[in-house]
């Protein structure tokens, strides 16, 4: 990925397995950023989804039988949604100097479709090359990624409690077996090892407030360095 592209705005992603509490942390981080830096454009978004086209793809990705999609089709659907999301939501906000906080991004694909479903690294290199060449303005790699780590047994149980209370169940991934979720966790550990400057591990077994304080402290420091 080219290092020479200009960097405007700040792109933060949150990652983690099922029930790690990413969505709550995205919301808390954004709310506090808006409160403390009212002049700053803050955009909260998520994957799969985050733009109208990508939200349509979300529906067909997250519902139905666990084997609804072949791994390669699934990967391409995630990236089709991602490119739309990147071009139509994330990039415009970054170009305006904003902070974008995104619930999952490409590390999720590397972990879920790569480590857990077994697709090779070369697939990701190839797709990232397409992204890189299609996008001359800015590198799509996040400035900071918080990886919320939790034992999958606890995480999936938390996630299932939440799902049982909603009507439309986007639970195609939660229903996959525990071995899959263990692989997801291992995948994130590997990403942490390989991207130690970008990624930070956050112990997600603690209280919502404790987790938030860790993220907040780091994000504010990052913002101060960036602007």
Q: Which residues bind ligand TYD (CB under 6 A)?
A: 18, 22-23, 47-48, 62, 78, 103-104, 108-109, 112-113, 170, 173
Name which of 27 and 139 has its Cβ closer to ligand TYD. Answer: 27
Q: How many degrees, rounded to 5, is the angle at CA 121 between CA 218 and CA 91?
A: 50
DSSP 164: T
Least Å distance, CB 105 to ligand TYD, is 7
- Size of the chain, expressed as the number of residues it contains: 227
Least Å distance, CB 39 to ligand TYD, is 30
**209 vs 225: CA distance, rounded Å:** 24
Least Å distance, CB 208 to ligand TYD, is 15
Name which of 42 and 109 has its Cβ closer to ligand TYD. Answer: 109
| CB 227 within 8 Å of CB 98 | no
Residue by residue, DSSP assigns 163-201 as HTT-SS---TTTTS-HHHHHHHHHHHHHHHHHTTTTEEE
Name which of 47 and 143 has its Cβ closer to ligand TYD. Answer: 47
Least Å distance, CB 81 to ligand TYD, is 8
| CB 153 within 8 Å of CB 185 | no
Name which of 51 and 109 has its Cβ closer to ligand TYD. Answer: 109
């Amino acid at each position: 990925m080219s290092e020479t592209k200009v960097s405007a705005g700040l792109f933060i992603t949150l990652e983690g397995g099922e029930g790690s509490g990413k969505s709550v942390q995205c919301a808390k981080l954004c709310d506090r950023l808006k409160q403390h830096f009212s002049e700053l454009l803050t955009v909260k978004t998520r994957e799969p989804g985050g733009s109208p086209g990508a939200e349509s793809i979300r529906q067909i990705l997250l519902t139905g039988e666990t084997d609804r999609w072949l791994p390669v089709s699934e990967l391409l659907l995630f990236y089709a949604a991602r490119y739309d999301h990147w071009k139509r939501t994330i990039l415009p906000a970054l170009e305006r100097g904003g902070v974008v906080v995104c619930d999952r991004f490409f590390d999720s694909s590397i972990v879920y479709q790569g480590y857990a479903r077994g697709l090779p690294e070369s697939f990701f290199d190839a797709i990232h090359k397409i992204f890189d060449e299609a996008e001359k303005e800015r590198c799509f790699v996040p400035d900071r990624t918080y990886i919320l780590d939790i034992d999958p047994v606890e995480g999936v149980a938390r996630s299932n409690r939440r799902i049982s209370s909603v009507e439309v169940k986007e639970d195609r991934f939660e229903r996959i077996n525990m071995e899959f979720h263990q692989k997801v966790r291992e995948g994130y550990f590997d990403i942490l090892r390989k991207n130690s400057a970008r990624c930070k591990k956050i112990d997600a077994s603690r209280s919502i407030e404790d987790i938030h304080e860790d993220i907040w402290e780091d994000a504010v420091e990052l913002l101060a360095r960036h602007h």
